[in-house]
């Protein structure tokens, strides 16, 4: 009753790797995963709805509503050394501790149904100040991923103890108990705005690990365009609000949004 | 256990259209739907109670308590081109994200049981300042409703992205998955007080779409009377509070009330 | 799993009247119901525990812990015109809207199991200032109780609309649907401290309705003693805290405690 | 669905005593129980995960994630007069009242499965100021523990009424209903920082009651080392944050952490 999964197809996959990019700090993980889904022309195969998602809907520019949801995409390996991939992306995480936990269980159920035994979760790590050349930080649920990350310049060892809030961390924790191992890749970001530059840094590590090549130029361009569009829209909307008032705006994909 | 539905009758309806008017910003949706129920002499056929409703009851002027509830009414088409109607109105929405989601499921279950495949949800859109000639904004869960709304002067396309909080938006989202399509009509309103004028603007659009004629004069009159009554009651009550103290007042129907 | 009821005996009762006195504003209902339980030497027959109660326990002066619980007592009528009585008293209400709703369902289940078809719920009505001669306010779930209350000086009709928060109101609402009718009696009280004087006013109305006589002097005395004890304890404790520090104090029965 | 228990072995135990040391004020209970587990070389036999735990994971210095969990250890008596012991320790309590209640039920289920009929829960009692020679306070769920505690200098009787928040109190309350009796030992502590000195005071009482001898010197040493390490780490981390920014730190075991 709390979760509803609708499959639109059931692809045959060989040991796919799960990639998670739900909304979080700086939208780093969401931007990265979505870019990869688009570049690889990954195919949607399932939608997940939940009573634990926020109790609202989004109105798009067209006037169509967009429901709160998570979506699953797959991509089939094209050459030796690559793995099939499953992506989970969407416009929200759950609104309660228990909702988050059960959401992770559902995501892992689906990943496991298609044979996934490995995962990478993507997110941002807020540092409270502008970052020009974002580092990528990593955390793992199996030691074998430490050298894989460190070879690619990811900062894994740290002074002191940290925390990963939300699905990106909980998937590692709950996945470990099912034998699904992997890492969380966190792009350094200010935490104040949407950060495609940080997403690019995360993607460079991820694609290197996966042996997949995707163009980053489109990401950079899309980011610039989006930034410009957001700015223009903000101006227009501010004007419109002065003229006639308007509904509370939902931050667009290109603006920062943090789901706690 | 969380929801209890009591049917007092089971009407035979032909493809009824669901109209939702639960409490929200400026009570716009609630006032509009209640006025329509009264003008059409729609008949009550079910009550819905829920453990997810707020944990209190209302004391009416008579000393009788009023339970927190939603109520269902029906109306049968009287001429060609009209549809049978189901109304859901009441004094509350749920208190939690999950409660809101499950409430929508229940409402849609009931609408579907009687054959509904279309819906209009009614609400207010707070703009933070007084509005003399309220616009009506719209959001849809199927593109075929966009021209239907725009022909009647409803603002559907927008700059930027918006949000509908609560049942009015979630019914569109959850209804879409069941093949129940329609629109949310939102009357422009300040958001600071109950706004029958905004309700009237919404009703003009809705009745035009439904091909139903109802007198708006009674709404205007009722509104004026109510406003006067509220003012008098407020004066009396303030005096009474000074004289002898009194319980915390529940905003009346004619005062603003926002259920988040 | 959320509620556990332990019966220590199952009395035979004839159409008992349910009396509720759980903690609330000024502890008015709790003091009133407890006094009546003691004066009538009512007998305990059940305890109710719940996962929805607050996640702590009370430490008594003896060092024994007191669990969060509700308790049921019964009393058998001693003369014509009296009814058997069931009391529900305790040290807490639930912590969530849903918990409150389900708690009321449990209480009504138990009352109904023993044949109750009538109830009186007891509480305080906070007026924000000291009250010397507290009025008693009433709300009913069946009009037949209005004259019964008004004959005894209870204020039933009001200017404007009020609200009863918590179990005292919800029992009326949920009881009505089961055919258990009655009233909520609310003693006028400041809302700032425990108010046995208000409890006395409520008890005078209630005992008159029930045709039961109990001594109020003991209540007045107990109240005075308690007030003195509280003051002394507060002094001692403050001294002790200065001397060596001490745990956070739980307001005692004779101090104000409000469970939202 | 809300709780998952994984047994790694099922030891044969004779009437074990349950010792609880989950995180709380000043980490007093956690430090005490963990020290005892280490000194006695108690063996892990079960892990408990829950959807009611906080929705995050901890990143350790190595880059490995640590899941939110409770763990069960056992120790077998080595001489006459000793009891077998079961320890429950971990890095969290639940996030909701209902979660806390159900967590206690699970812990008691496990303790009972292995025959436990006695328990000691360990915690801190915050007094808001530095404490050099911490007193130990006690609360019991059966009067027979009062002399056992008082003989060892524990303060059991008190002026006024107190409260134990969380699992340490609820286990006593819920255990009592199953016939599992015992006491909560609370070490006096400031409440502002992690307090191994208070943990030592609690352990001295507990080991005396259980007839078990463990070295306290290692605790003192570990505490000093940890304090030094924490200080150094804090310096380094502060420097690192200035240099390049870093994730929000999770308080380490040796820093104060309060789970409400």
Q: How many CB atoms lie under 10 A from the CB of residue C181? A: 17
Between CA C147 and CA C140 the distance in angstroms is 11
B and C interact (at least 3 Cβ pairs within 8 A): yes
A63, A68, A252: residue with CB nearest B158: A63
Q: How many CB atoms lie under 10 A from the CB of residue D207? A: 17
D and B interact (at least 3 Cβ pairs within 8 A): no
Task: Give me the residues paired with residue D90 across strands.
Answer: D70
A100, A139, A159: residue with CB nearest D236: A159
Q: Is D100 near chain C, with CB under 8 Å?
A: yes
Q: Looking at chain D, which residue has its C-alpha nearest residue C64?
A: D140
The 10s digit of each residue's pLDDT in A62-99 is: 999 999 999 999 999 999 889 999 999 999 999 999 99
pLDDT at B229: 60
Q: Is A162 near chain D, with CB under 8 Å?
A: yes
Between A233 and A22, the more confident residue is A22
Question: Does D250 score more than 50 pLDDT?
Answer: no
B6, B55, B68: residue with CB nearest C166: B55
C63, C234, C244: residue with CB nearest D139: C63
ipTM rounded to 2 decimals? 0.85
C and D interact (at least 3 Cβ pairs within 8 A): yes
The 10s digit of each residue's pLDDT in A158-182 is: 888 899 999 999 999 999 999 999 9
Best of D2, D5, D50, D56 to disrupt the A interface (most A CBs within 10 Å) is D56
Put simply, the answer to whether A139 touches D64 (Cβ < 8 Å) is yes
Torsion of CA B149, B154, B159, B165, to 10 degrees: -90
Put simply, the answer to whether C56 touches D128 (Cβ < 8 Å) is no
C-to-D residue pairs, Cβ atoms closer than 8 angstroms: 125
D64, D241, D245: residue with CB nearest A143: D64
Q: Is A5 near chain B, with CB under 8 Å?
A: no
Q: What is the mean pLDDT of residues D142-152?
A: 98
Between A159 and B187, the more confident residue is B187
Using an 8 Å CB-CB cutoff, list chain C residues near D121: none
A98, A127, A188: residue with CB nearest D2: A98
Confidence tier at D233 by pLDDT (50, 70, 90) = low
Between CA D123 and CA D132 the distance in angstroms is 17
Q: Is B167 near chain C, with CB under 8 Å?
A: no
N-term to C-term CA, chain D = 23
Q: Is B169 near chain A, with CB under 8 Å?
A: yes
Question: DSSP code of A27?
Answer: G
Using an 8 Å CB-CB cutoff, list chain D residues near A165: 55-56
The pTM for the full model equals 0.86
Q: What percent of chain A has pLDDT over 70?
A: 85
Between CA A163 and CA D59 the distance in angstroms is 5
Q: What is the mean pLDDT of residues A147-160?
A: 94
Q: Angle at CA D92, nearest 5°, toward D95 and D55?
A: 55
Q: Is A177 near chain B, with CB under 8 Å?
A: no
The 10s digit of each residue's pLDDT in B238-249 is: 665 555 433 333
Question: DSSP code of A64?
Answer: B
Other chains touching B, judged by 3 or more CB pairs under 8 Å? A, C
Question: Does A134 score more than 90 pLDDT?
Answer: yes
B positions 120-159 inside 8 Å of A (CB)? 125-129, 131, 135, 137-141, 143, 146, 149, 156-159
Using an 8 Å CB-CB cutoff, list chain B residues near C157: 61-63
Confidence tier at B104 by pLDDT (50, 70, 90) = very high
pLDDT at B236: 66
Using an 8 Å CB-CB cutoff, list chain C residues near B5: none
- Residue B217 three-state SS: helix
Q: How many CB atoms lie under 10 A from the CB of residue D14? A: 10
Q: Which domains does chain B have, with CATH numbers?
A: 3-244 (3.40.50.10900)
Kindly write down the DSSP assignment for every residue of chain C, as one continuous string.
--EEEEES-----SSPEEEEE-S-GGGHHHHHHHHHHHHTT-EEEEEEEETTS-SEEEEPTTSBEE---EEEEEE---STT---EEEEEES---SSHHHHHHHHHHHHHHHHHTT--EEEEEEEEE-SS--SS--EEEEESSTTHHHHHHTTT-B---SS-EEEESHHHHHHHHHHTTT-EEEEEEEEE-SSS--HHHHHHHHHHHHHHHT----SHHHHHHHHHHHHHHHHHHHHHHHHHHHH--PPPPP-TTS-----
Put simply, the answer to whether D2 touches A160 (Cβ < 8 Å) is no
Between CA B195 and CA B258 the distance in angstroms is 12
- Could you tell me how far CA A217 lies from the centroid of its own chain? 19
Best of B27, B49, B64 to disrupt the C interface (most C CBs within 10 Å) is B64
Using an 8 Å CB-CB cutoff, list chain B residues near C140: 63-65
Between CA B98 and CA B174 the distance in angstroms is 13
Q: Looking at chain C, which residue has its C-alpha nearest residue D106?
A: C1
Q: Is B186 near chain A, with CB under 8 Å?
A: yes
The 10s digit of each residue's pLDDT in B56-73 is: 999 999 999 999 999 999
Put simply, the answer to whether D165 touches C55 (Cβ < 8 Å) is yes
Q: What is the mean pLDDT of residues A129-147?
A: 94
pLDDT at A229: 61
Number of alpha carbons in the 13 Å side-chain half-sphere of residue A47: 9
Question: Does D241 score more than 60 pLDDT?
Answer: no
The residue count for chain D:
260
A-to-B residue pairs, Cβ atoms closer than 8 angstroms: 128
Question: Does B16 score more than 60 pLDDT?
Answer: yes
Best of D63, D66, D93, D238 to disrupt the A interface (most A CBs within 10 Å) is D63
Q: Tell me phi and psi for residue A241, to 5 degrees.
A: -65, -35
Put simply, the answer to whether C160 touches B252 (Cβ < 8 Å) is yes
The 10s digit of each residue's pLDDT in D162-192 is: 999 999 999 999 999 999 999 999 999 988 7
A and C interact (at least 3 Cβ pairs within 8 A): no
Best CA proximity match to C206, nearest among C82, C76, C49: C82
Q: What percent of chain B has pLDDT over 70?
A: 85
The 10s digit of each residue's pLDDT in B76-86 is: 999 998 999 99
The 10s digit of each residue's pLDDT in D60-115 is: 999 999 999 999 999 999 999 899 999 999 999 999 999 999 999 999 999 999 99
- Residue C62 three-state SS: coil
A-to-D residue pairs, Cβ atoms closer than 8 angstroms: 123
pLDDT at B47: 98
B-to-C residue pairs, Cβ atoms closer than 8 angstroms: 130
Judge contact between B141 and B182, C-beta under 8 A.
Answer: yes
Q: Is C229 near chain D, with CB under 8 Å?
A: no
Best CA proximity match to D117, nearest among D175, D167, D76: D175
pLDDT at C253: 47
Q: Give the pLDDT of chain C (260 residues) as one tens digit per residue.
A: 699 999 999 999 999 999 999 999 989 999 999 999 999 999 999 999 999 999 999 999 999 999 999 999 999 999 988 999 999 999 999 999 999 999 999 999 999 999 999 999 999 999 988 888 999 999 999 999 999 999 999 999 988 889 999 999 999 999 999 999 999 999 999 887 888 999 999 999 999 999 999 999 878 886 676 567 656 756 665 665 555 433 433 444 444 433 32
C4, C62, C245: residue with CB nearest D128: C245
Q: Which two tokens stand for residue B230?
A: 């509220």
C positions 13-52 inside 8 Å of B (CB)? none
Put simply, the answer to whether A160 touches D237 (Cβ < 8 Å) is yes
Put simply, the answer to whether B62 touches C146 (Cβ < 8 Å) is yes
Using an 8 Å CB-CB cutoff, list chain C residues near B2: 98
Using an 8 Å CB-CB cutoff, list chain A residues near B138: 63
D63, D99, D248: residue with CB nearest A138: D63
Q: How close does chain B come to A54, measured CA to CA in Å? A: 6
Strands of C65-66's sheet, edge to edge?
A: C65-66, C56-59, D162-165
Put simply, the answer to whether B176 touches A67 (Cβ < 8 Å) is yes
- Could you tell me how far CA D76 lies from the centroid of its own chain? 19
Torsion of CA B197, B200, B205, B210, to 10 degrees: 170
Put simply, the answer to whether C164 touches B56 (Cβ < 8 Å) is yes
Confidence tier at D230 by pLDDT (50, 70, 90) = low
Confidence tier at A136 by pLDDT (50, 70, 90) = very high
Question: Does A251 score more than 60 pLDDT?
Answer: no
D98, D125, D157: residue with CB nearest C247: D125
Using CA of residue A77, residue A82, residue A84, residue A88, what is the dihedral sign? Answer: negative
Confidence tier at B131 by pLDDT (50, 70, 90) = confident
Between CA D116 and CA A162 the distance in angstroms is 37
Put simply, the answer to whether C61 touches D135 (Cβ < 8 Å) is no
Biggest CA-to-CA distance, chain B: 59
Tokens 């309705």 belong to residue? C209
Put simply, the answer to whether C249 touches D157 (Cβ < 8 Å) is no
Best CA proximity match to C137, nearest among B238, B243, B246: B246
Using an 8 Å CB-CB cutoff, list chain C residues near D185: none
- Residue D83 three-state SS: coil
The 10s digit of each residue's pLDDT in A114-126 is: 999 999 999 999 9
């Amino acid at each position: 009753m709390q979760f509803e999964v609708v499959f639109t197809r059931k692809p045959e996959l060989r040991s796919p790797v799960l990639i998670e990019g739900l909304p979080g700090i700086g939208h780093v993980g969401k931007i990265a995963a979505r870019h990869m889904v688009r570049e690889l022309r990954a195919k949607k195969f399932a939608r997940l709805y939940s009573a634990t998602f926020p109790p609202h809907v989004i109105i798009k520019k067209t006037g169509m509503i967009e429901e709160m949801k998570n979506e699953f995409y797959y991509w089939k390996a094209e050459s030796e050394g690559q793995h099939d991939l499953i992506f989970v992306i969407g416009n929200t995480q759950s609104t309660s501790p228990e909702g988050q936990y059960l959401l992770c269980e559902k995501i892992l159920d689906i990943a496991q149904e298609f044979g996934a035994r490995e995962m990478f979760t993507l997110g941002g790590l807020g540092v409270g100040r502008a970052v020009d050349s974002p580092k990528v930080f990593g955390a793992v649920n199996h030691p074998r991923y430490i050298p894989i990350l460190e070879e690619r310049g990811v900062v894994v060892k740290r002074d002191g103890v940290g925390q990963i809030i939300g699905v990106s961390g909980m998937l590692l924790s709950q996945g470990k108990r099912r034998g699904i191992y992997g890492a969380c890749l966190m792009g350094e970001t200010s935490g104040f705005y949407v950060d495609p530059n940080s997403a690019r840094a995360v993607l460079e590590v991820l694609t290197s690990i996966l042996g997949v090549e995707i163009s980053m130029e489109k990401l950079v361009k899309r980011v610039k365009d989006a930034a410009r569009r957001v700015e223009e829209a903000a101006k227009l909307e501010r004007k419109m609000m002065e003229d006639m008032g308007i509904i509370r705006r939902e931050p667009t994909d290109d603006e920062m949004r943090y789901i706690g």
